[in-house]
Structure 1
């Protein structure tokens, strides 16, 4: 299963190879991204990506099934609500 292959500090990239974030850890059925990479209004918050959007793990990278521009819109905050 892909979930066991996802480790802290792995790079999360979109299907297009563009950087989305860095794994803090897996929490339940979501990847928690490091908050140091959040910007703008959501700076200092952890964001999450559902494991269902993971296409696979390639070496030290977690590849998502969506391009980075779309993946950023799929990010959630701790509450499970999408980031505006």
Structure 2
């Protein structure tokens, strides 16, 4: 079983430094889709953000650990306006 197949809805996504980045909505292709609740403020509010699976280090319990520190990982985030 690959690490990506262990990812489940509502798991916490954290950087290698242990800092919270978001909460899993689902795996969408080669990206982790984060919940809208973790979308930030201002123009970022109400959008799903995506983290590339290439940053996945491991899935441990209820946490998805990334290989990059949080400040680097969020720079890889993609954003998509999504009415759902």
RMSD value over aligned CA atoms?
A: 1.1
**What are structure 2's unaligned runs of at least 5 residues?**
none
Runs of 4+ in structure 1 deviating by more than 2 angstroms, as ranges, are: none
2:21 matches 1:20: yes
* TM, length-normalised to structure 2: 0.89
Q: Deviations over 1:22-51 (max 9, x none)?
A: 000001110000011111221100000010
* TM, length-normalised to structure 1: 0.89
The count of residues paired between Structure 1 and Structure 2 equals 79
How many angstroms does 1:76 deviate by?
0.3
More strand, by proportion: 2
Q: 2:70 aligns to what?
A: 68
> Equivalent residue of 2:79, what SS?
coil
**What are structure 1's unaligned runs of at least 5 residues?**
80-84
